[in-house]
Structure 1
Amino acid sequence: MNNNYVTLQVADGTTMRAYTALPANVNENTPAIIVFQEAFGVNGHIRNVTDRFASEGYIAIAPELFHRTAPVGFTVGYDNFAAAMPHYAALTTESTQADIKAAYEWLNAQEADKSRIYSVGYCLGGRVSFLANATVPLKAAVSYYGGGTDALVDKAGELNGKHLFFWGGLDQHISKESIDKVTQAVTDAGKQFVNVVYADAEHGFNCDERPSFNEAASKESWALTLEFFEE
């Protein structure tokens, strides 16, 4: 596996660093994926997730979405959301779509199967993965506990690929009403999706660096994600 950083040119004139991980023996049949960060940056956990996808045979890229307001390589601890909040709040739909397109274009320029480009995101990234599916022609996309996705339901009709949602039944940050609003919008738009709620899981259940880590839910959701992409 080959992991590295690249610098992407974004359409609004900014530059964005991204972490990349490539499997061995990349060829025209290799699938590709964009991995979208949590609010805490492209930290060790997100890089590990990116590496895991590469180990499964995907060309993977994790863009630093806070590049307009934060220094290169910005990360904060899971106990310091306040430090991430100014950068989180500065994101706009339009600027995020520009970042999505830059990452997608990088993948599209690689020797890969252009018909099998996916996205996955966690927390903030779950929302961005939903937006990505409505912005670029992904084959499929996955959102883990994507807070704020209900603010993007007007994009449901623009989804390109099938979407998989994961939620925690004990999540104190995302209400059942918000989840229902998202799934109803996708249903009304006639788009294909799968909705999974882990009744005993909290927000951030996939991250083994957070107190809310749920090993059973994390393992099962990983297996379901890989199977979903292979369908």
Structure 2
Amino acid sequence: MLIQNHQVDLNTPTGIMRCYLYHPKDTAETAGKKFPAIILYSEIFQQTSPIRRSAQIMAGHGFIVIVPEVFHELNPIGTVLGYDDAGRDKGNADKVAKTLEAHDTDTQAMIDYAQTLPYYSGKIGAMGFCLGGGLAYRAAIHPAISATSCFYATDIHSGLTPSKPGNESLTRTSEIKGELQMIWGKQDPHIPPEGRAKVYANLVACNVNFTWHEVNGVHAFMRDEGDRYDAELQLWGYQTALGMFKRVLY
């Protein structure tokens, strides 16, 4: 399926948020069709080339994909941080500086925007990597989100919630009503076994509809740049996420 893309600047309570939109191209094949949407949350580096390629892959399978600049209020529009020490330090500082409530209003703005698109079917999911996995988990709390795929989601287990004491995303797990998919690398030092066990136990206790996948991979195995990339796991990861999104959102 051919795709096309454009940018849109959305108003949020914390400022203008640049979003990158990818969706099936208007052709004879797609004329008159409507498609479900996926909010794709990036790592701390915002929309890097690997994140753009992830969005293109998902859009090419029949989804409207919205990629927000997750730290839009803390950086000039269009900022992309490097996969280096400076980029990591800046991204981690931004992560601490931004509140969960600000991420919530970003999510609401994207859901509202999706509803204005004439080719939107009315169903929406969320997906993310690393920081974005945690943000997708957070988005799953929203009643409009019907399916969520979280890849090696950081901070859920550790309680990094600058706006409030404790782990608010974890304590609000019972509000997740859609289907949830959790994907982890067993050799990921950022989410150790005890951290994953905490998330798993909480999902069970809250009776969430979820699937759980632990693979032999390190952190960021989906990122097709750098020495942690695992092409075999990446293909499996996309197939696993697409399987759920097509089943639930279509």
Match of 1:42 among 47, 54, 67: 47
Contact 1:137 1:160 in 2 (8 A): no
Q: For residue 70 of structure 1, what is the aligned residue in structure 2?
A: 75
Partner of 1:22: 23
Counterpart in 2 of 1:3?
Answer: 5
Question: Structure 1 length normalisation: TM-score?
Answer: 0.94
Q: Which residue of 1 aligns with 2:181?
A: 164
Shift of 1:123: 0.4
* Aligned position for 1:51: 56
Q: How far, CA to CA, are the matches of 1:8 and 1:136 in structure 2?
A: 21
User: Which residue, out of 72, 76, 84, partners 1:79?
Assistant: 84
Q: Distance in 2 between matches of 1:83 and 1:196?
A: 30
Tell me if the contact between 1:2 and 1:22 (Cα under 8 Å) persists in the aligned partners.
Answer: yes
- Provide structure 1 residue ranges, at least 5 long, that are not aligned to the other structure: none
Structure 1 residues 26 and 214: alpha-carbon distance in aligned structure 2, compared to 1, 3 A threshold: farther
- In the alignment, which of 208, 213, 218 is matched to residue 224 of structure 2? 208
Q: Which residue of 2 is the match for residue 221 of structure 1?
A: 237
Deviation at 1:27, TM superposition (A): 4.4
1:229 to partner: Cα distance: 1.2
3-state DSSP of counterpart to 2:172: helix
**Partner residue of 1:110?**
117
Q: Does structure 1 residue 174 correspond to structure 2 residue 195?
A: no
Task: Give yes or no for the alignment of 1:189 onto 2:206.
Answer: yes
Report the Cα offset of residue 29 of structure 1.
Answer: 3.3
Aligned to 1:101: 108
The answer for the alignment partner of 2:162 in structure 1 is none
> Partner letter of residue 99 of structure 1?
D
State the secondary structure of the residue aligned to 2:93. Answer: helix
Q: Deviations over 1:123-149 (max 9, x none)?
A: 000000000000241110000001101
Output the aligned Cα RMSD.
Answer: 1.3
Consecutive unaligned residues in structure 2, runs of 5 or more: 160-168
Q: Secondary structure at the match of 1:131?
A: helix
Which residue pairs with 1:198 in the alignment?
Answer: 215
Once the two structures are overlaid, the 10-residue window that deviates more, 18-27 or 221-230, is 18-27
Query: What's the offset of the Cα at 1:210?
Result: 2.6
Query: What is the identity, as a one-letter code, of the residue corresponding to 2:64?
Result: I
Once the two structures are superposed, residues 63-113 of structure 1 have per-residue CA deviations (whole angstroms, 9 ceiling, x without a partner) of 101111111111122223113222121121100101111111111221211
Q: 1:51 to 1:188 in 2, by over 3 A?
A: same
Letter in 2 for 1:98: T
Contact 1:35 1:63 in 2 (8 A): yes
8 A contact 1:6–1:19 mirrored in 2:
yes
Number of aligned residue pairs: 228
Q: Work out whether residues 14 and 102 of structure 2, in 8 Å CA contact, stay in contact via their aligned partners in 1.
A: no
